[in-house]
A and B are shown apart, each in its own frame.
Chain A
């Protein structure tokens, strides 16, 4: 098991090194930042000063070393567009994305497991069929169309919920939260549903398939023969064994929630890091793009690693195998 963990950590470090190199290559080969930052009316002195400030006149190897050194400290230089430190902008924007992702993830997990169990137990019921059909349509709809549809129904037609922004936020020591105000909570509803819906259908289908598989097993039949109540069989015996694959998929989906937040944040003009990234692409703001790439790859790698380690915590069989086989 130890060897396995070491191998996984090494693999994660490799992924980070590769993305780091990609991020650095973006810095050194793409566009002329000076061109982007200074307007039409510039003097050669302005250009030289900015070049020196950004360290663009130094050799490749020096710049690369400087990049690595700075990146480890979370420093990605100045945004070409806003002229402020990228780390500062990211720190400002991150709470919005994390709150959105957390609520969507929770929604997807609870909704997915709930509906999954329901559709598995009442497999032939009318309600289960309706849920399955709706989920099929949900999977085929692109995320941005779901967002537009929700805005149309709940903001334009019914006027119940806001169509853009985060509402009022409260600043708690550098962390701006929308959880504490009514308008903040209202603004969260539509984006969270948009972002969580796809993941919810995925988890639901997975739980349903796993549940049906488990319910067919002998030990469930024996429990039934022993006269255990349906509820105890379904929740205490069946559900537990469906959770291992659910945790893997949910963990991996957590990463894609953060990535897909880019789309949701653009639809709802949600002031998070995803919207920042899209604007950075539009204006070729390389420091922001590179910093976002590094930030998201650290998150992905960490999530993958935690999910793999959770495996051992949840499934005792793996632990025994690891000890017995020694690999």
Chain B
């Protein structure tokens, strides 16, 4: 070992990567085939969405590159007029289905991640405040959470979407639709985070280290953020993963219903909405491939979330 010149770290202290590889979580990951496969699917889909402009064969939003003659080309066969080939076929306007899926996934994932992040930030902050401060703050926050929980999240998201649509001027509605979606799904989903964080905070609050921090005169906000927050992150991570799958499905559902991403910026749900119209006339590929992509994305994130929940649960070890 010592005469190897490439060795840069002292042998007594393994690198961050090596420590991560040796952790319980990584061990469990390496021994759960379902987790590995779903993680691989998620990574491939996310990467192809992120690099969509580089790998997509066509730019579906550039009207100049579209040829109406290419419309309704079946997958894997040359078009009758232009002889152009498309791996997954084209839609009515001659847009390459593969490219629209890649770009659509970008929007679906962007909305999903942003919405969960918004829900997480709101939920964690309100949960910490409710759990640590108690009193009327807790009563108010938890009562609001209870009331919101009376209604299914998708209904809350629809209402927020409708109201936000009413507030934005008609000319900006298509531009704003993505942000409105994020706001709607994010605001409909914070309750989960707040409840779990509040529960965990109530437990942590009574621990000695928090008492010690209080004794040396730390301010409440710094105790919440620097001391309690790192200790309640495990369940937050699990909920975030499962919420991500739910948020992606919620976005797809809203867009499918026509109250989400506009046809000019189609997400997977919008593409399924468009494809449904061609189901009866035999152009099955316009519907099938976006639907399969959505399914693969939601299912693998769900399975990953299930694994994470079991792996982080000390009682199941």
Q: Which chain B residues (152-182) contact chain A, with CB distance < 8 Å? A: 152, 154-155, 158-159, 161-163, 165-167
**Contact flags (1/0) for A137-166 with B, using CB distance below 8 Å?**
000111111001001100010000001000
Q: Do residues B253 and A256 form an inter-chain contact, with CB atoms below 8 A?
A: no
Q: Do residues B257 and A30 form an inter-chain contact, with CB atoms below 8 A?
A: no
The B interface, classified by DSSP as helix, strand, loop or mixed, is helix
Nearest CB of A to B198, in Å: 19
Q: Do residues B166 and A148 form an inter-chain contact, with CB atoms below 8 A?
A: no
CB of B276 closer than 8 Å to a CB of A: yes
CB of A289 closer than 8 Å to a CB of B: yes
Interface size on B, residues (CB 8 A): 34
Q: Which one of B147, B163, B284 lies within 8 Å of A18 (CB-CB)?
A: B147
Q: Which chain A residues (26-51) contact chain B, with CB distance < 8 Å? A: 26, 29-31
Q: Which one of B159, B166, B252, B280 lies within 8 Å of A142 (CB-CB)?
A: B252
Nearest CB of B to A285, in Å: 9
**Contact flags (1/0) for B240-275 with A, using CB distance below 8 Å?**
000000000100110011110000000000001000
Given the known interface contacts A140-B299, A262-B257, A296-B155, the answer about A30 and B163 at a Cβ–Cβ threshold of 8 Å is yes
Q: Do residues B272 and A300 form an inter-chain contact, with CB atoms below 8 A?
A: no
CB of B302 closer than 8 Å to a CB of A: yes
Q: Do residues B291 and A278 form an inter-chain contact, with CB atoms below 8 A?
A: no
Q: Do residues B150 and A300 form an inter-chain contact, with CB atoms below 8 A?
A: yes
For B259, list chain A residues within 8 Å (CB): 278, 281-282
Nearest CB of A to B156, in Å: 10
Q: Do residues B162 and A263 form an inter-chain contact, with CB atoms below 8 A?
A: no
CB of A233 closer than 8 Å to a CB of B: no
Give complex CA distance A29, B291 in Å. 38
Q: Do residues B279 and A152 form an inter-chain contact, with CB atoms below 8 A?
A: yes
Q: Which one of B143, B163, B256, B291 lies within 8 Å of A26 (CB-CB)?
A: B163
For B298, list chain A residues within 8 Å (CB): 140, 142
Q: Do residues B159 and A289 form an inter-chain contact, with CB atoms below 8 A?
A: yes
Give complex CA distance A145, B256 in Å. 10
Nearest 6 interchain pairs by C-beta:
A30-B166, A281-B162, A31-B166, A284-B166, A259-B152, A259-B155
Q: A18-B147, A142-B253, A297-B151 provided; 15 other pairs, C-beta below 8 A?
A: A15-B147, A26-B163, A26-B166, A31-B166, A140-B299, A142-B294, A143-B253, A256-B152, A259-B155, A263-B256, A263-B257, A278-B158, A278-B257, A281-B158, A296-B151
Q: What are 20 A-B interface contacts by the 8 Å CB criterion?
A: A15-B150, A29-B167, A142-B252, A144-B253, A145-B294, A148-B272, A148-B279, A156-B280, A259-B155, A262-B154, A263-B256, A266-B256, A266-B257, A266-B258, A267-B276, A278-B259, A282-B259, A284-B165, A296-B155, A297-B150
